[in-house]
Amino acid sequence: MSPRNRPRRPKSPLGFMPVLKCTFFLGRPVQLAHFRGALVEHIGRSRPLLESLGLDGALFHGRDDNHPDWVDAGGRAIDHQKKVPVLNWPPVVYYRTDGQHPVVVGVGPGARALQLLLLSFARELQVEGRNVSILGWNGERFNCPMGPADDAEYLLEEYAFLKEAKDLEAYEATDRSGQRRLLEGKLVNHIVDLYASLGEDPGPGVSVTLLETVREGKRPGVDGPNERKVHTVRIRSNVHLPVEAGLGVGTSKGFGRILLG
């Protein structure tokens, strides 16, 4: 197809934001604005801008130490002692109220982050155990159930989290109960520490069951082109995993992440 006859890409309704075509976890296509750069930094501080876009809230992670970790609609930094996010770059959730529940109208980096962030912020958005109506920029709307998640995927950087277990190859090769209990115990301690960082108590009897290991291969480094091996360990826990477990694209340095859902 010649450039002259090629269909034009859809434009953002605001004219200056790229539109990300992505597929939500339900398999339905939806276009979501991919907010970046100065807009991301400015919109959290500017209530007039939020109101002009018809938004009631914005949550995003700061790019560096000069920006608050989480900023709400009024530009107020949320208490860092209660929010200790480990995201590497700012996924954004913008929402507005629509009757009984929020309507998400924008998210980055994509629909998967939308699902994960909504699950994690279900308590803050007061939508726990309810449905959230998702509104894409193309006007498509569908519901997303916000029930509790029993399963989680734990993305591990082998040089950081598995150093005491030597390496994942040795763990997979032996698959002995001792190695399994060691890793499950480390994950339990990690979850307890996450709750402690929030000033909360997950309660007694926190358990983690290792379901399977999945090799992810190599991924680019956060601070440069250097690649490092990253592995996924699929687990089941009897407690709800908080947002500080680390959501979104990319892993945190030496910390790994937990993906809800």
User: Where are the domains positioned within the chain?
Assistant: 19-145, 151-260
Question: How many residues are given for the chain?
Answer: 261
Q: What is the pLDDT of residues 109-160, one digit of tens each?
A: 333 344 444 444 444 445 455 555 444 333 444 444 444 433 333 333 332 3
pLDDT category, 192, cuts 50, 70, 90? Answer: confident
Percent of the chain residues past pLDDT 70, beyond the cut? 5
* Residue position matching structure tokens 């989680």: 152
Residue 206 has pLDDT above 70, yes or no: yes
pLDDT number for residue 121 = 46
pLDDT category, 194, cuts 50, 70, 90? Answer: low
Report the phi/psi class of residue 108: left, alpha or beta, with left for phi > 0 and alpha for psi in -120 to 50: beta
Percent of the chain residues past pLDDT 90, beyond the cut? 0
pLDDT higher for 176 or 16?
176
Highest mean pLDDT among 35-44, 63-72, 163-172, 180-189: 180-189
In terms of Cα–Cα distance, which of 83, 233, 226, 67 is closest to 165? 233
Which residues fall within 8 angstroms of residue 40, CB to CB, at 6 or more apart?
A: 60, 63, 90, 92, 108
